[in-house]
Amino acid sequence: MKKFPSIGVPVLALLALVLGSIQGQRLDHLQECERLYRWMVSASTQMRLFGDPGKPPPGEDPSKYADEELFKKLVELTESRLPDVPVGENDYDKATRQPFAKVVRYTAAPHVEEDTEATESETSEGDDEDARPGGSGAREIYTEEQRQRDAQLWAFARSPEAADLRKELWNANRDGRVAAFGTQLGIAGMYQERGTQISLANLFFGFRKMAANLVWLEVDRWWHKGQMHRMLPLMKTCVTLDPEFIDAYLLGAWHMAYNASAPLEDTPWEIRTYDDVHEYWVGDKERFYFYGVDFLKDGIRKNPRNYKLYFDLGFSIYDLKLDNHVDAIKYLSEAIRLDHDRWVRRCLYRLMGVDERYEASKTGWEDYLSKWPDNQVAKRFINLMTGEILGRDADYAGEQAKAAEELAKRARDAGNGQAESEWSAKAAEARAREAELYVKCKSFWKSLDDPNNKDIDRDTYAQARSLRIEAAELRSQGRYDEAIQCLDIARFRSNEFWDTATDLLIKYKVEGNLPLFLTDTKFIERQALEAEYTRHLPKSIAGRQYRFFDGAWMCVDYKDEPLTPVEQDSDAMLQLKFEHPEIARVVDELDGNIILQAGNAWYEYRSKEPAMPSKLYAGRTASLAPAS
């Protein structure tokens, strides 16, 4: 009996060691699975947005890193394991024009279609339409579909089929050969509590965060002293220490794109250099914009599911600084896939309207209004998009009429009476439709500017649009002085209409052979100089983007479909314009040959004149390929 306790203690100790070993192995397994799961999300997001699964740090040898090799194995393993995902219109690699791998499409958070209830924060303080709510007012949109997708990804990460990939990833990360990892992929992320700085992660792994906070205090100190050149390296050090420090990314990018560039003048075009990476002509000032772009992209690589990074990249820099609506819409569209504040949607839908994606903008605003019926901003923009659609359709009818009239004339010259009769009838029908839509458009804009209607606020943009219609009528009558006066009033009525009205005003002066002010002459000279550099940069027309390479323009949506050649000014081209009047602007605004879409078919428009010379290709040995 005396010996039994002495035997029991070693047995219990041995049992504890065995259980501890089992638990340790289980924890190691979970850590490997967790690391693979988070790496899949991060690498797939980077592949979809940036064209690579992980970007090595500056100055490092890319061959040292195993991201590409690991990602290829991931694609092979998941192709049969994950459920099928439909290929959407944005699910194509712009470099290869091929669909993204299934895992890339699968890890993208699905767009939300269901109506959801507003949270308490949205119906209280966050309800101020003119305020930027910041962190309050966020709406959870983590959908059931996204839960199912994440569950499938987690099941794959834990599966026996992924065992070799888990081990390879673990070893590569241990050796510092994985570039895709941010703190969202680290072990600390398993314990991080959302919305608080006090967590188990901070207790065990918080020294780097503490150091990052101290560095950030130095950043703030130098900011108040105006020492911007001292801030930039410290901001990069800060996010290196704590890649989860979202505010450091946001404020750092703001300092780079706004405060650092503010004292500098716009760089004259003739002394700018072309940045192949960002596809932009840059000088000292413009480089700071792209410092901010790269800083936020680094944040997205390390925090792929934080909407604030996408929003600031799209809205604050691509829209407000670079006037690049295509990329702005791209990143704002990513932001609304995640938990986000509702003003993100408002910015996205407004930008869609600016980029002439009127139907998409209107649909978005209608969806927004269905969730918040009292929102006056949504009601206003629904009206504006309705008016723009009416005006655009009237223009399309006019293009159809011009094409039909020319075809009727050619038939008459050829002695083909039957064809002349048919095309004359179609031209008359198109002119009648143009007049009808024109009247509807004019009446609609007037209804938004009715001083006798006490139920509406007179819309300044509607006033400007009405004045533009009046100016167009006066121009058609040769009354250019009065037309210019209307446009001058219009641009002062609405800030949103200033640039458009100014362009039209100068166009009417030149067309009417009227004297130009010195400012007008300088404006024309600046536009001509700028065109030499920007003529062949990517362009967006009616919501479709076109890129120039190999001596021709190509719509970025083209994916190696069969092409039908069509010659400039040919009967076939006129018939195509009649059937698809939306292509008229494309061939008018772009020079040289164009690959474009009309309906469901693709055409190669063959211009009689080659593309104009451009500074973009001066001294270059080869044309630029489309960017990824």
- Looking at residue 618, what is its pLDDT? 61
Q: Do residues 295 and 227 both lie within one domain? A: yes
On the question of pLDDT at 71 being above 60, the answer is yes
Q: Do 571 and 410 meet the contact criterion of CB atoms below 8 Å apart?
A: yes
Token reading at 278: 């960002």
Q: Do 395 and 429 meet the contact criterion of CB atoms below 8 Å apart?
A: no
Q: Flag the least confident range among 205-219, 367-381, 534-548.
A: 205-219
Residue type, 409: K
**For residue 614, what pLDDT band results from cuts at 50, 70 and 90?**
confident
- Looking at residue 362, what is its pLDDT? 96
On the question of pLDDT at 459 being above 90, the answer is no
Q: Do residues 490 and 563 both lie within one domain? A: no
**For residue 126, what pLDDT band results from cuts at 50, 70 and 90?**
very low
- Looking at residue 552, what is its pLDDT? 93
Alpha helices in 51-133, H assignment, sequence order:
67-81, 102-107
The partner residues of 275 in beta bridges, in order of sequence, read 280
On the question of pLDDT at 136 being above 50, the answer is no
Q: Averaging pLDDT over each range in 62-71, 317-326, 545-554, which range is the top one?
A: 317-326
- Which residues have CB under 8 Å from 548's CB, separation 6+? 536, 537, 538, 554, 592, 611, 616, 623, 624
Percent of the chain with pLDDT over 90: 50
- Looking at residue 120, what is its pLDDT? 34
- Looking at residue 212, what is its pLDDT? 84
Q: Give CB contacts under 8 A, 24+ apart, made by 575-584.
A: 575/403, 575/407, 576/603, 577/399, 577/400, 577/402, 577/403, 578/400, 578/403, 578/404, 578/407, 578/426, 578/430, 581/395, 581/396, 581/397, 581/399, 581/400, 581/403, 582/396, 582/542, 584/399
**For residue 392, what pLDDT band results from cuts at 50, 70 and 90?**
very high
Q: Do residues 515 and 547 both lie within one domain? A: no
The number of CA neighbours under 13 Å toward the Cβ of 487 is: 23
Q: Do 348 and 368 meet the contact criterion of CB atoms below 8 Å apart?
A: no
Residue 345 lies in a domain: yes
- Looking at residue 53, what is its pLDDT? 87
Cα-to-chain-centroid distance, residue 156:
31
Q: Do residues 471 and 583 both lie within one domain? A: no
- Looking at residue 110, what is its pLDDT? 60
Query: Quick one: which of 187, 193, 205 has its CA closest to 28?
Result: 187
Q: Do residues 53 and 170 both lie within one domain? A: yes
Q: Do residues 515 and 546 both lie within one domain? A: no
**For residue 139, what pLDDT band results from cuts at 50, 70 and 90?**
very low
The partner residues of 555 in beta bridges, in order of sequence, read 546
Tell me: the pLDDT tens digits for 246-270?
999 999 999 999 998 999 999 999 8
Please count the other Cβ atoms lying within 10 Å of the Cβ belonging to residue 198: 9
- Looking at residue 196, what is its pLDDT? 42
**For residue 61, what pLDDT band results from cuts at 50, 70 and 90?**
confident
- Looking at residue 321, what is its pLDDT? 96
**Domain boundary at 470, 495, 525, which?**
525
Residue 195 lies in a domain: no
Residue 125 lies in a domain: no
Percent of the chain with pLDDT over 70: 84
Range of the domain at 327: 201-355
Q: Do residues 37 and 158 both lie within one domain? A: yes
Tell me: the pLDDT tens digits for 401-440?
999 999 999 999 999 999 999 999 999 999 999 999 999 9
Q: Do residues 580 and 482 both lie within one domain? A: no
- Looking at residue 474, what is its pLDDT? 94
Q: Tell me which of 607 and 183 has the higher pLDDT.
A: 607
Residue 368 lies in a domain: no
Q: Do residues 422 and 327 both lie within one domain? A: no
Q: Do residues 183 and 211 both lie within one domain? A: no
pTM of this structure: 0.84
Tell me: the pLDDT tens digits for 169-206?
888 888 888 887 654 444 344 334 344 444 444 544 56
**For residue 400, what pLDDT band results from cuts at 50, 70 and 90?**
very high
The number of CA neighbours under 13 Å toward the Cβ of 42 is: 26
Tell me: the pLDDT tens digits for 301-346?
989 889 999 999 999 999 999 999 999 999 999 998 888 888 999 9
Residue 432 lies in a domain: yes
Residue 434 lies in a domain: yes
Q: Flag the least confident range among 214-223, 277-286, 356-365, 387-396.
A: 214-223
Question: How far, in Å, CA of 133 to CA of 95, rounded?
Answer: 38
Q: Do residues 510 and 583 both lie within one domain? A: no
Residue 90 lies in a domain: yes
Q: Tell me which of 244 and 358 has the higher pLDDT.
A: 358
The mean pLDDT value for 264-285 works out to 92
Q: What is the rounded average pLDDT for all residues in the chain?
A: 84
Question: How far, in Å, CA of 171 to CA of 395, rounded?
Answer: 62
Our count of domains for the chain comes to 4
